[in-house]
Structure formats: C-alpha cells, structure tokens
Structure 1
Amino acid sequence: MSSSTPSSLPERIELRGEGLVLRDWTEDDLAAMPELFDHPDIAYWTPIVSPLDDAAARARLAKARQLRAEGTSILLAITLDGGAPLGEIMLRRAPEGTEIGYAVGPAHRGQGLAARAVRVVAAYAFEEWGVDQVILELEAENAASVAVAGKAGFTLLDVPLIKGEEKGRPYELQTWGLNRQ
C-alpha cells in the first residue's frame, strides 16, 4: 500500500480536473453551507443534517476533519476555481467498497458539476488509493443521481439492494460501479 492509502490520508487535498477544483472545506465556507445543503431534496436523499444552520455547518466541518484524521473519508468542496463552494464530493472506504457521494447546491445544478467531480475523485481513488473499482449507492427513484451515475460512466451492478432507514424513512440503495481502466 502506498502512503496515501485511507489509513494515512494527506492533511490537505486539492484535486483539479474537468474544469473543477475540489478542495478542503474551511471556516470561510461555513456561511455558504446552509445555502448549499439546507434544501428539501438534499434532506430527503442524503444523510446531511436538516435543517442545516450555522451550528450544524460547524459540526459538519468538524466531522469532515475527524473522518479525514481517522483515515476513512475525504469530503471536499466542489468549486470552479478554488473559490466559492458549489457542492460537496465525498470519497470513503465503506463495507461495500470505495464509495463516492455528492451533493450540489440547488442554484448550481444543471452544469454537470456532480458528474465531473465524481470522475475527478474516481481518478484520484484509482491512482492514489490503488482501488480497482469505485461505487455509488443510489435510490432508483433519485433520477438526478441516476443521471449523474450514467454521465460519469458508472453501470448498475448486479448486487443485492442495500436496505436501511435514515431520518425516519426507509430506503433501498442500488450499487453502481466504475472500474479502473
């Protein structure tokens, strides 16, 4: 294993590609988080806390740093130029495999940000973590995320649905995969 495996994640990460800069969240981003993530569809489809107020944004930043320190997950702001965050991309070791997750603020949708960010993070996982496959776990009814999976080159895997409950509602997740080229 290389020194960049999840057990020893770098303290700072910035990924560039596809017209994006994916960078660490900072205290300067706290004010933007509610605008990006305090939205009914993000509350419905993702585990992101809702309502997402200033205190929840601070807790989210602290949790992102804790997960990085533990070597389990990377959460990065999706930006065009390293400036204002437009959404978030996550890469984590999950029991099912190396998983990518994302959320794009409602005002920034329709620009292909999620699919581009997913491709950049997948390339990072292949190159730096040495994995052979990355996965997305999506609800079939989440048409926007299913479209992102297709645009990013993922295919639906023939594996059992992941069933659970989040925020008081049951879910069934499909697993989509992208293999190293």
Structure 2
Amino acid sequence: MEPITLTTARLRLRPFTPDDAGVVYEVCQDPAIQRWTTVPTPYTREDAELFVTRIAPEGWRRDGEYAFAVEPLTGGPLIAAAGLHACSPGIREVGYWLAPEHRGRGYATEVVGALAHWAFTGLGVHRLLWRAEVGNTASRAVAERAGFTVEGVERAGILKDGTARDSWLGSLLPADVGLPSPLPYLPAPVPPRTSTAS
C-alpha cells in the first residue's frame, strides 16, 4: 500500500522519513518505552535509522505494518509513533508509544481512535486488537478510553528480550465505535444463570 497521512483535531499521523531518526532515537531512550514496548534494549542510533529507512517503509510495501510518525498539527517534531500490524485477514493489532513530556494530554487515545477509524473504514478490518504486557497500566488505560474491551490474559503472549511474558489482550469492533462491520457478527449466546442456592 502507498503510505497515507491521517489527521485528527490536534495531530498529523504521517509516514516516517529518514529525518525522524534523531527524534526516534532520543524518545526511545525513555525507560518506560524500553520497558514496555518491543523496541530493542539498549536502543541505538542505528536502530532508529534502520526503523525509519527500512523497517517502516518495508511494512507499507508489504502491507504488513503501517507505521506512523505523530506530530502536532501546529508543527514541531514528532511526539509519538503508532502503527497497525497485520495479524490475519480482517484483523490488525494497534501499537503505540508517546514521548514522556506529551503524556497525560489524551494524545495516545486520539491516535488510537484515528487508527481504528481508518482500519474499519479504509482497510476492511472487522476486529482490531490491542496487546500489552501485564502491568502496563498506562497502555491499558489508553486502550480502554479508546473503547477496547479487555478480554483477558494471554499466557506467554509477548516476547521481550528473549523471554515470553503474559499479556493483556483487548479488542475493538466496528460496532463499538458506531461503524458497520464488513462481516456479519454472531456473538456467542450468554449462558443462563444458574442458581447457587441449596
């Protein structure tokens, strides 16, 4: 797919360029990003250059991962990164990080909402996933504010630094944000309640 740009009320989500390497490197020195995301640890300038010049563009070319640099509409350097990763037909997973000085302003929720809308209206996605290592309460709060339902814990759901770790798993469906689904959806019936009185 050809890279695209998305906008929200405050933000521009655009493809990465080689000029982003310096800011990506600096932001990814944040201990929270290194702790909770799958960026390499330690994160080097070479890692940043590889990401912006090869990994991100290749993801668009292969329709495997659509990575976005996020910057304010008013201008300035990028403040976040976000992306949609292909899992299987009609299913994508959202991921994101935010520079420390820009946290707590609702930017991450705004970004996830924009990606979800595009996934459902532009990509034919019928299920959007969110996954984070158990304990990453900040990421979970963003996902829940964006409308995701946390479905449970995946044992060994994330690989980080050569170790499998348990992850929270959540989903967002088009109907959750008032959009039609590209597929009919038949939810499982709710089992009847059983009496526990003796």
TM-score range (shorter-chain normalised) is 0.7 to 0.9
Change (3 A) 1:150 1:32: same
Aligned residue number for residue 93 of structure 1:
86
Q: AA paired with 1:64?
A: A
Task: Provide structure 1 residue ranges, at least 5 long, that are not aligned to the other structure.
Answer: 1-8
Aligned residue number for residue 40 of structure 1:
31
CA deviations 1:15-39 (Å, max 9, x no partner) are 0114211011112211111221122
Is 2:59 the counterpart of 1:67? yes
Counterpart CA distance in 1 for 2:161 and 2:134 is 18
Could you tell me the TM-score, scaled by structure 2's length?
0.80
Aligned residue number for residue 122 of structure 2:
128
Counterpart CA distance in 1 for 2:88 and 2:131 is 12
Counterpart CA distance in 2 for 1:164 and 1:54 is 25
Counterpart CA distance in 2 for 1:58 and 1:158 is 36
Counting matched residue pairs gives: 172
Counterpart CA distance in 2 for 1:32 and 1:139 is 25
Q: CA RMSD in A?
A: 1.9
Q: AA paired with 1:72?
A: G
CA contact (8 A) 2:155 2:165 kept: no
Alignment partner of 1:58: what SS?
helix
CA contact (8 A) 2:108 2:142 kept: yes
Bigger relative contact order (CA 8 A; separation at least 6): 1
Aligned residue number for residue 107 of structure 1:
101
Change (3 A) 1:164 1:117: closer
CA contact (8 A) 1:101 1:136 kept: yes
Change (3 A) 1:162 1:130: farther
CA contact (8 A) 1:67 1:73 kept: yes
Counterpart CA distance in 2 for 1:149 and 1:161 is 19
Counterpart CA distance in 2 for 1:29 and 1:119 is 23
Greater gyration radius = 2
Counterpart CA distance in 2 for 1:142 and 1:159 is 13
* CA-CA distance at 1:169 after TM superposition: 3.4
CA contact (8 A) 2:5 2:13 kept: yes
CA deviations 1:108-141 (Å, max 9, x no partner) are 1111111110000000000111112211011231
* CA-CA distance at 1:50 after TM superposition: 2.6
Could you tell me the TM-score, scaled by structure 1's length?
0.87
Identity of aligned residues (%): 28
Task: Provide structure 2 residue ranges, at least 5 long, that are not aligned to the other structure.
Answer: 176-198
Counterpart CA distance in 1 for 2:88 and 2:155 is 14
Counterpart CA distance in 1 for 2:172 and 2:36 is 21
Alignment partner of 2:78: what SS?
coil
CA contact (8 A) 1:91 1:98 kept: yes
